[in-house]
Structure 1
Amino acid sequence: MSEKPVRLAVCVVTYQEPFAHSAVCKSLAGLPQELLAHLSVVSVCNAAHGTIADDPVIEEHQAGALSYREVLRSDNRGLAGGYNAGLQIALDEAPDAALFLNADGWVEAWYLTWLLDGLRRQPDREAFVPTLISGARCVSPFRKRGIALNFYIIGWLCLRDGPFLRQLRFPDEFWLDGIDYWLSVKMAEAGLRIERTERCIAHNLSVSDQFGTLPGWRYRNILVSERRFLRWQKRPFREILVVHVRALARCLRYRRFDLAQVVAKEFAVALHE
């Protein structure tokens, strides 16, 4: 008797631009047909151009041999709301697992092959993660000072179907940055057994790799998310202070005086929270 094919739900979130224009769509569309046959792709477009209806619009599309559904939302609920909406649709089809992908990520055949093989042959593993690198530095898994657990970037992270995935709902307060922190803590609290590939995937970080062009609104959100996470974990205020001091030092080192003003304003907010 032949094995039942592994079904993998793929969740992506974009902002304003259609999924077809994203790097991840182009990478998926270029994969061999035998891999695409395992995928059920749902992309959620926040603040989609031309969408004015209150209720989301769901469309079916084709990009080469890749079939996918796209949810067009008039509002912007960030990664948290986008992934929640995508999961709600994807889990209705009872997949074996859900894979979270970044819109700017690039998926190679070896990684999907590794995932599918792991889901098939390692039933005791509930999560599968890659090793992500930026330059010569490993950026996922990563550690945070004073917190004894591994943190994982959500891009390329795969969760097997089960109680944890079925109950998963990302909180609005970690709508964009901070979603990695929140999910990593929840995975640790649930005691998920995690399999990690030693083979690396290149991943650019907005702070370390694009700091020269990072907009103020994004840097503010990063600082707010750091602060929310530390307060959620009931960390001492000195750790919040360290976050802002290090941020200010980076801004001055790279002569981003505009971002230095953002840091100063956010630290003033932190003092009065």
Structure 2
Amino acid sequence: MDQDLPVSAPARPATSPGSVPGDESARGRVHAVIVTYGREPERAAALPLLRDWLRGAAGAAAPPLAEVLVWDNSPTAECPAQQAGLVYRHDPSNGGTRAAYASAAARASACGADWVLFLDQDTEPPADFPERIGRALRDAAGRGVPPAALVPRVVHDARLVSPARITASGAVRPAPLPEAGTRGAGAPTAISSGALLRTDVLTAILPAPADFWLDYLDHWLFRSLHERGCTIAPIDCELRHSLSVASGEPLSPARFANVLRAERAFVGRPGPVTELAYRLRLAVRALRWSRRAPELSRLAWRAALGARP
């Protein structure tokens, strides 16, 4: 059964009496969600920073943090130490990031937060991350139409992995965000961990399809923004993140099969040229794993031949 342990402190109102909705967008009240699995939530890399932020100890430039939702997909509940503004939710059915993000969007709307910040358990933000978010929000507020998302640079083993561009065949290539009013090859995308999405936009595009309960959810989110003509703005900072699919180590067969299914759902049924490019990518993957992980290689060959992995 789901376990929801809220704190006693009520959410603060989104705006002061007599204010115009959205006139705090330069400050941008934030709701943060941190998703854990198989790890005590207290050991999540970003949680100490979020605790300080809740206490108002994140620096003068940081926007207000309305609430932190700790979403635990582990089989067994491990409730973190309670704190005003911190809510723990245990989901033993493991609804993945899809369930966590849906809950975060609903809670952000309920407490009047303008933005939702996504974080994974192994994402390491810098100590001044809240203040850098605040500066990005102020910069964005001066551009007129607010962006739908703010994204930092994310590195895995000192290698840039986000932001990126994703092609119709699902190939992800790290790349800087496009300049306003320009377009490049492929849609801009990003790792969701460390990113902020506007609550109203996120609420409008959710729920995500069930295929993206864990993998490719971030790419689905950013493609949805791209299809709606939304803009994405940068946060001038760098986060360290452990990206399992980029580690070079074999995934478990179950996880790899899920990646392949989500990737197939993301690509859909494109034209013959894109479909060929996608299947060639799968064949290359199958060859790469043929010696180190024969079972993964077989799954990739099945997908390349059009079978469900």
How many pairs were matched up? 259
- Cα distance in 1 for partners of 2:270, 2:230 equals 20
Query: Is 2:140 aligned against 1:122?
Result: yes
Give 1:212's aligned residue. Answer: 249
Q: What is aligned with 2:64? A: 38
**Counterpart residue type for residue 135 of structure 1:** D
User: Is residue 90 of structure 1 aligned with residue 108 of structure 2?
Assistant: yes
Runs of 4+ residues over 6 Å off in structure 1 = none
The residue number in structure 1 matching 2:44 is 22
Per the alignment, residue 56 of structure 1 pairs with none
The root-mean-square deviation of aligned C-alpha atoms, in Å, is 3.1
> 2:130 & 2:77 partners in 1: Cα distance?
34
Say which is worse superposed, 93-102 or 36-45, in terms of deviation: 36-45
Q: Which runs of 5+ in 2 are unaligned?
A: 1-22, 169-184
Q: 1:50 to 1:122 in 2, by over 3 A?
A: closer
TM-aligned CA deviation for residue 62 of structure 1? 2.9
**Higher helix content, 1 or 2:** 1
Deviations along 1:213-261, whole A, 9 cap, x unmatched? Answer: 5211111111111111111666742133123112113213x62223212
Q: Is the 8 A contact 2:133 2:235 kept in 1?
A: no
Does the 8 Å CA contact 2:126/2:238 hold for their aligned counterparts? no
Amino acid at match of 1:223: L
Write out per-residue CA displacement over residues 145-178 of structure 1, whole angstroms, 9 at most, x where no aligned residue.
Answer: 456211111111112343x123232221111111
Q: Paired residue for 1:72? A: 90
Following TM superposition, by how much is the alpha carbon of 1:68 offset from its aligned partner in structure 2, in angstroms? Answer: 1.0
How many angstroms does 1:24 deviate by?
2.3
Relative to structure 1, the CA distance from residue 6 to residue 234 in structure 2 (aligned partners, 3 Å threshold; closer, same or farther) is same
Whether 1:142 and 2:160 are equivalent positions in the alignment is: no
Which residue, 230, 248, 251 being the options, matches 2:267? 230
CA distance in 2, matches of 1:152, 1:234: 25
Partner residue, 2:231: 193
Where does residue 124 of structure 2 map in the other structure? 106
State whether residues 28 and 107 of structure 1, in contact with CA within 8 Å, keep that contact through their aligned partners in structure 2: no
Contact kept in structure 2, 1:98 and 1:159, CA below 8 Å: yes
1:133 alignment partner in structure 2: 155
Of Structure 1 and Structure 2, the greater strand share is in 1
Residue in structure 1 matched with residue 18 of structure 2 by the alignment: none
TM-score (norm 2): 0.72
Name the amino acid aligned to 2:226: A
Q: Deviations over 1:67-109 (max 9, x none)?
A: 4101122311111112112221232001121111111111223
Distance change >3 Å, CA 272–CA 168, structure 1 → 2 = closer
Cα distance between partner residues in 2 of 1:45 and 1:113: 27
Identify the residue that residue 178 of structure 1 maps to in structure 2: 216
Percent identity over the alignment is 23
Matched residue type, 2:260: L
For residues 60 and 47 of structure 1, the distance between their equivalents in structure 2, rounded to whole angstroms, comes to: 13
* 2:4 corresponding residue in structure 1: none
Gaps of 5+ in 1: 52-58
Q: Is the 8 A contact 1:61 1:70 kept in 2?
A: no
Going from structure 1 to structure 2, the CA distance change for 1:72 and 1:79 (only over 3 Å counts) comes to: same
Cα distance, 1:17 vs structure 2: 4.0
